């Protein structure tokens, strides 16, 4: 196990180097530079712009700068932002917790709802509950995240307020006028979490239902029932564990998608996370911040694949690492 872990962790290094090289190349081959924002500033002459470029080191070829970047990152220095000269690590520290809270709340929301609904639907197959949940899952499967988010804002923030009902805030992480507390924080999370989680909820619900249906037809379930075990013991101890097994891999593979979705949801709800930071930094050619954001996404993705593999082994004793 330890050997496997070490090998996998070592294998991540070339992969991450490959990704960073590709992303750095793409970013820097983009026409435009962080000094573009001085272009229409009458008090900054073209010569000054060249000077600023030189001071930032942007007149060096990009592949030379890449090695400088790698050297610095290896020493734990992510660089400074090209637009407001604050340390990149500081900007990440502000944004990353928000994104993590948003994504993992959505993950938990989707899991907590999808597992019982899926299992109940499989056990009571073709019941009204099963049919309704299947229809809802089919309907939510194709919903565009952006549209869902906007419709929720229209309903819960605009219309509910018009109708004089308790309404939810349309964006941000907390009430900027003060009076911010935990409930206020949660109130700001409800709509984004629902928006981000609902697609996964639909997919997982359907997945658990069908994998549970597969499992309860197996012989060993009949054996367990024939032994006279409690129906609940059979379902929870024998069926559930095997039905959830494939879900672990699926959840692992979906987490990167969740981060991608978080980027969109953050944009719709004006939620100040990594996704919003990525879009802003790309729009302003802020190479160092953009690089850090994309690499964070990449590291999370790669780590997450590893965790999914390890969890899979922990749940299924048949899997052996060597």
Partner 1 sequence: MAQQSDVANQTLAQAGEQALPAERGALDRSKLVSTPGYYRRAWRRLRKDKIAMVALGLAIFILLFSFGAPVVSMLTGHSFDVGDYSKVLAPVGTPGYPFGTDSNGRDILTRLAYGGRVSMMVSCLTVVFALTAGATIGSVAGYYGGLIDSILMRLVDVIISIPGITLLLLISVWWRPGPVGLSVVIAALGWTGVSRLIRGEVLSLKNRDYIDAARVSGASNARIIFRHIFPNVLSIVTVWVSLALPAYILTEATLSYLGFGVRIPVPSWGNMLNEAKDFYATSWTYVFFPGFAIYLASLAFNLLGNGLRDALDPRLNE
Q: Give the 3-state secondary structure of residue 286.
A: coil
The set of residues, in sequence order, having a beta carbon less than 8 Å from that of 257 and lying 6+ positions away, is: 200
What's the rounded Cα separation, in Å, for the pair 173 and 181? 11
Query: 260 vs 313, which CB is nearer to partner 1?
Result: 260
Q: Which stretch binds partner 1 (CB under 8 A): 30-38, 73-81, 94-102, 229-237?
A: 30-38
Tokens of 281: 């930094």
Residue 305 near partner 1 by CB under 8 A: yes
Cβ neighbours for 197, distance < 8 A, ≥ 6 positions apart = 105, 106, 107, 109, 110
**Least distance to partner 1 from the beta carbon of 158, Å?**
5
Please tell me whether residue 178 binds partner 1 under the rule CB under 8 A: no
CB atoms within 10 A of CB 225: 15
Percent helix / strand / coil, the chain, rounded to 5: 75, 0, 25
Residue pair 32/284 in contact (Cβ under 8 Å)? The answer is no
Site for partner 1 in 275-294 (CB under 8 A): 278-279, 282-283, 290, 293-294
State in angstroms the smallest separation of the CB of 159 from partner 1.
8
Q: Taking CB under 8 A as the rule, does residue 267 contact partner 1?
A: yes
Minimum CB–partner distance for residue 175 and partner 1 (Å): 19
Q: Decide if residue 168 touches partner 1 (CB under 8 A).
A: no
Of the two residues 119 and 277, which places its CB atom closer to partner 1 in the complex? 277
Please count the CA atoms within 13 angstroms of the CA of 50 that sit on its side-chain side: 3
CB 252 within 8 A of CB 307: yes
The nearer residue to partner 1, 209 or 238, going by C-beta atoms, is 209
Among 6, 151, 186, 237, binds partner 1 (CB under 8 A): 151
Contact between 13 and partner 1 (CB under 8 A)? no
3-state secondary structure of 182: helix
For partner 1, the closer CB: 153 or 234: 153
CA atoms within 13 A on the CB side of 247: 25
Q: What does the block give as tokens for 298?
A: 């990449």
In the structure encoding, which two tokens stand for residue 45, read together?
A: 């002459």
| Of positions 129, 147, 185, 321, contacts partner 1 by CB under 8 A | 147
State which residue, 99 or 105, has the beta carbon closest to partner 1. Answer: 99
**Footprint of partner 1 (CB under 8 A):** 15, 18-19, 22-23, 26-27, 29-32, 138-139, 141-147, 150-151, 153-154, 158-159, 256-257, 259-260, 263-264, 267-268, 278-279, 282-283, 290, 293-294, 297-298, 301-302, 305
């Amino acid at each position: 196990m330890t050997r496997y872990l070490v090998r996998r962790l070592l294998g991540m290094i070339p992969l991450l180097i490959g990704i960073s090289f590709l992303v750095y190349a793409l970013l820097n081959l983009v026409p435009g530079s962080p000094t573009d924002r001085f272009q229409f500033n009458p008090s900054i002459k073209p010569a000054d712009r060249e000077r600023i470029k030189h001071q930032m080191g942007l007149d060096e070829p990009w592949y030379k700068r890449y090695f400088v970047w790698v050297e610095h990152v290896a020493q734990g220095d992510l660089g400074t932002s090209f637009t407001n000269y604050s340390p990149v690590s500081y900007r990440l520290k502000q944004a990353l917790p928000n994104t993590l809270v948003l994504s993992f709340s959505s993950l938990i929301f989707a899991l907590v709802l999808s597992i019982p609904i899926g299992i109940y639907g499989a056990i009571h197959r073709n019941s009204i509950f099963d049919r309704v949940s299947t229809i809802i899952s089919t309907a939510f499967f194709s919903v565009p995240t952006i549209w869902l988010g906007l419709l929720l804002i229209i309903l819960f923030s605009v219309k509910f307020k018009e109708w004089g009902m308790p309404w939810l805030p349309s964006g941000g992480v907390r009430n900027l006028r003060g009076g911010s507390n935990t409930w206020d924080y949660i109130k700001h999370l409800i709509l984004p979490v629902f928006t981000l989680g609902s697609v996964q909820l639909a997919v997982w619900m359907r997945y658990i239902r069908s994998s549970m249906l597969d499992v309860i037809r197996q012989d060993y379930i009949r054996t367990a029932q024939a032994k006279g075990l409690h129906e609940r013991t059979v379902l929870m101890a024998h069926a559930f564990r095997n039905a959830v097994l494939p879900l672990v891999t699926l959840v692992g593979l979906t987490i990167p998608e969740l981060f991608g979705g978080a980027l969109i949801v953050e944009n719709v709800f004006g939620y100040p996370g990594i996704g919003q930071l990525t879009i802003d930094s790309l729009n302003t050619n802020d190479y160092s911040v953009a690089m850090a954001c994309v690499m964070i996404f990449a590291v999370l993705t790669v780590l997450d694949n590893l965790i999914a593999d390890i969890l899979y082994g922990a749940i299924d004793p048949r899997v052996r690492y060597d």
